[in-house]
Amino acid sequence: MKRKLGGNRVGTGTVDKAVNEATDKWTNSSATQLETSDKVKDIIVKTIPITNIRTDQDNPRKLEIDIELVKKISEKYSIQTYIKNEDDNDWIKDFVNKVAAAFKLKNKQIQDFKSIVEFANILKSPDRLLHPVVVWKEPQENLFHLIAGERRVLAHCLLNVEHIAAKINIKKLTKNEIDLFQWEENESRLDFNLWERLNRVEKFINAHGGLDKISVNKLSKKTGMSRSEAQRYLVILRYKSPVLREAIENKTIENLLKGAALAQLPVEELEASIKGNNVKQKKYVVKPNIKVARDSNNSALNKMISAVVEKYNASSVIENLDLKKPKDINLALNALLLFLGDKEGQGDNE
């Protein structure tokens, strides 16, 4: 009696087919690994001279200090003494002020320089650098174009270090590859302010067809941000007046949620709010997903809202809303919906 395998009799060719499929799968997997290996061969990690590095002028941080300036500062004012002898960081403010006066630094230059001083103070030595900078090497020349790590390079300059660890791409990356890499690198940094993030998002959107061709879902999937965060960036970028973006650039507005809420106001009210006039603001929500019927049980909805606010410590979300009014109940529900969406998105990324 012939034995059955997998419901089919021996000799039907089923076993051979299964073996062939497994072989094909293994072959494809091996080919992928070989392809990946070839790509890895195009990347090496070594220390390179900082003098041979050319920074990316299109980097989203748009620092207003550069390698040459920081080198001049380090030659005149060394921070090594402070790093070795100071027990706290109180020296940083006086040091920055002294350098700013000597080199006539202004506005953003001072803030950028301060951030480099703070970074160098934490780094202390190139041996403590956890992540190499990323560059691509100019063919036939000993020049390296910086893709990511400008602050790390400048901190090394301030420490008066001549070399830095770098991941070197032998083949030049495409513009889209560089944009995506810089997005992922910079977006994870806590010190990336709203103006810098907004410009980064806009550049990323332009590389994918522009505002008219980008959706909330597409932006969310491409960047890894939550849908509600993507929605807020888009509503700011699509605001018809430049007043909002100017306020973000001037750091009058430094919070994405606040910026998106203000983007719901008419231009006149927005200008009044930015100037500090007492304009009552509500937690406006973009494209509400919930609409409360006129005959809804407002008392029950109030209890539900209160329970969510208490559980998630979300009192700021419904600030200035009158929950006795159906319209404000509707705003509160939609605001909480976005808030919970943010919480869920943050949980996914952790």
Identify whether residues 263 and 204 lie together within a single domain.
Answer: yes
Q: Rounded CA gap, 291 and 345, in Å?
A: 23
**CA–CA distance from 107 to each of 65, 99, 200, 314 (Å)?**
11, 13, 21, 35
For 16-37, letters b (16+ CB in 10 Å) and e give: eeeeeeeeeeeeeeeeeeeeee
Identify whether residues 37 and 51 lie together within a single domain.
Answer: no
Dmax (CA) for the chain in angstroms is 97
Q: Sign of the C-alpha dihedral, residues 217, 219, 223, 228?
A: negative
Is pLDDT of 140 > 80? Answer: no
Please tell me which residue, 313 or 94, carries the higher pLDDT value.
Answer: 94
Please give the DSSP secondary-structure letter assigned to residue 172: P
Identify whether residues 25 and 52 lie together within a single domain.
Answer: no
Q: Rounded CA gap, 348 and 350, in Å?
A: 6
Residue 222 lies in a domain: yes
**Who contacts 122 (Cβ-Cβ below 8 Å, separation ≥6)?**
none
Residue whose C-alpha is closest to residue 149's, from 117, 173, 119: 119
pLDDT in tens, 279-329: 444 444 445 456 777 777 888 888 888 888 888 877 767 766 778 887 778
- Tell me the angle at which helices 216-223 and 194-206 cross, rounded to the nearest 10 degrees: 110
- pLDDT at residue 52 in the model: 93
Identify whether residues 124 and 55 lie together within a single domain.
Answer: yes
Identify whether residues 265 and 175 lie together within a single domain.
Answer: no
Residue 186 lies in a domain: no
Identify whether residues 34 and 54 lie together within a single domain.
Answer: no
- pLDDT at residue 224 in the model: 66
pLDDT in tens, 146-183: 988 899 999 999 999 999 999 998 877 777 777 666 66
Residue 90 lies in a domain: yes
pLDDT in tens, 97-116: 999 999 999 988 998 999 89
Residue 185 lies in a domain: no
Identify whether residues 127 and 212 lie together within a single domain.
Answer: no
**Which residues partner with 292 through β-bridges?**
none
- pLDDT at residue 76 in the model: 94
**Which residues partner with 164 through β-bridges?**
48
Last residue of a domain, one of 281, 306, 330: 281
Q: Give me the number of domains the chain comprises.
A: 4
Is the pTM higher than 0.75?
Answer: no
Identify whether residues 153 and 176 lie together within a single domain.
Answer: yes
pLDDT in tens, 182-232: 665 555 454 568 888 898 888 888 888 889 888 888 887 777 677 788 889
The whole domain housing 344 covers: 289-350
What's the order of all strands across the beta sheet hosting 53-54? 43-49, 163-169, 133-137, 144-148, 53-54
pLDDT in tens, 123-139: 888 888 888 999 988 87
